């Protein structure tokens, strides 16, 4: 069971993600309002800069909406892969303990048993005085910033399980009757762990790339939606004046650069 601090950290990260997503969506919604105001000015809105013309503004709005939706889709895929990996690894440490107990009474050589126990200690995470994992020694999930660090932890768990399988597999005395402890079953378990781990890597890559594309569309300092909105406001101000009701319409629309997800 995850510690309180781990759960708090995960929830805090999710809350930050939620706030950021709301900020992106708000920028896009306000940009749609900005376009509507500009359309309402009719022939008086006639900028020379191509990117400020109504058709280009509409195209940028649609592109931003598409990129936001794509990011949400990729995030769902990433979240699902995260949950699937957690579920697959959930019983790993109890399973390893069962293997050690079965191996210890199999008649195997004492040195082999000692080797297996050494590997199991590494898998259980009991060889280090300080642990950065949760109480069940499974790295916390759901934190995007920690994906790389957590990924290395899961790689190590897989590596330790590979070593444990090799130790028992090479000893002919290890022939348990329990299906879940048999080498063939352990190999299947290993393959599932590796698959879920790879799936998460790929899902994170897709999510990360989608965020990059979304941020480029919204926050590019030269062509992004936020920068374009500033230029539209400046144009309206130049045409109608700083104290005009038209400028007050558009100046009240807020656009923010969301730096974190």
For 46-61, b/e burial (b = at least 16 CB within 10 A) is ebeeeebeeeebeebb
159 pLDDT tier (thresholds 50, 70, 90): very high
- CA 126, chain centre distance (Å): 28
For helices 183-219 and 147-169, what crossing angle results, to 10°? 170
Selected residue with higher pLDDT from 6 and 157: 157
Structure tokens at 29: 């919604």
- Model pLDDT, residue 143: 41
**pLDDT over threshold 80, residue 11:** no
Selected residue with higher pLDDT from 241 and 147: 241
18 pLDDT tier (thresholds 50, 70, 90): low
CA gap 217, 174 in Å, rounded: 59
What one-character DSSP code corresponds to residue 140? P
Give mean pLDDT, residues 194-220.
97
- Long-range interactions of 145-154: CB distance < 8 A, separation 24+: 145/13, 147/204, 151/197, 151/200, 151/201, 151/204, 154/85, 154/89, 154/197
Check if the beta carbon of residue 20 is closer than 8 Å to that of residue 258.
yes
- Across the chain, mean pLDDT equals 86
- Model pLDDT, residue 125: 87
Place of tokens 């579920």: 87
- CA 241, chain centre distance (Å): 46
- Conformational region of residue 107, where left means phi above 0, alpha means psi within -120 to 50, and beta covers everything else: left
Give mean pLDDT, residues 192-220.
97
14-18, 123-127, 130-134: which is most confident: 123-127
131 pLDDT tier (thresholds 50, 70, 90): very low
**pLDDT over threshold 80, residue 2:** no
136 pLDDT tier (thresholds 50, 70, 90): very low
**pLDDT over threshold 60, residue 50:** yes
CA gap 93, 213 in Å, rounded: 39
Check if the beta carbon of residue 141 is closer than 8 Å to that of residue 85.
yes
**pLDDT over threshold 80, residue 137:** no
- CA 58, chain centre distance (Å): 30
Selected residue with higher pLDDT from 7 and 137: 137
- Model pLDDT, residue 76: 97
- C-alpha distances out from residue 148 to 43, 114, 135, 190, 256, Å: 53, 32, 20, 21, 28
CA gap 139, 105 in Å, rounded: 31
For helices 183-219 and 225-240, what crossing angle results, to 10°? 20
- Please tell me the pTM assigned to this model: 0.78
Give the CA count within 13 Å in the CB-facing half-sphere of 200: 27
200 pLDDT tier (thresholds 50, 70, 90): very high
Q: What percent of the chain has pLDDT over 70?
A: 81
């Amino acid at each position: 069971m995850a510690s309180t601090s781990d759960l708090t950290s995960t929830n805090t990260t999710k809350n930050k993600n939620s706030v950021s997503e709301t900020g992106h969506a708000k920028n896009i919604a306000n940009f749609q309002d900005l376009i509507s105001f500009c359309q309402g000015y009719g022939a008086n809105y006639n900028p020379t800069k191509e990117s400020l013309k109504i058709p280009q503004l509409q195209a940028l709005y649609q592109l931003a909406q598409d990129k936001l939706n794509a990011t949400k889709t990729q995030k769902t895929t990433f979240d699902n892969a995260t949950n699937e990996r957690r579920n697959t690894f959930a019983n790993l440490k109890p399973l390893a303990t069962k293997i050690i107990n079965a191996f210890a009474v199999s008649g195997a050589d004492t040195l082999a048993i000692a080797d297996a126990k050494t590997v199991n200690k590494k898998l259980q995470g009991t060889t280090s005085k300080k642990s950065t994992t949760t109480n069940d020694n499974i790295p916390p999930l759901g934190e995007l910033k920690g994906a790389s660090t957590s990924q290395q932890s899961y790689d190590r768990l897989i590596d330790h399980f590979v070593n444990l399988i090799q130790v028992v597999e090479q000893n002919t005395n290890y022939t348990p009757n329990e299906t879940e402890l048999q080498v063939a079953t352990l190999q299947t378990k290993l393959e599932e762990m590796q698959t879920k781990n790879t799936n998460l890597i790929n899902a994170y890559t897709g999510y990360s790339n989608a965020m990059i594309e979304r941020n480029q569309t919204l926050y590019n300092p030269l062509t992004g939606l936020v920068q374009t909105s500033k230029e539209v406001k400046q144009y309206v101000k130049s045409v109608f004046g700083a104290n005009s009701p038209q400028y007050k319409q558009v100046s009240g629309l807020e656009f923010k650069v969301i730096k974190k997800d």
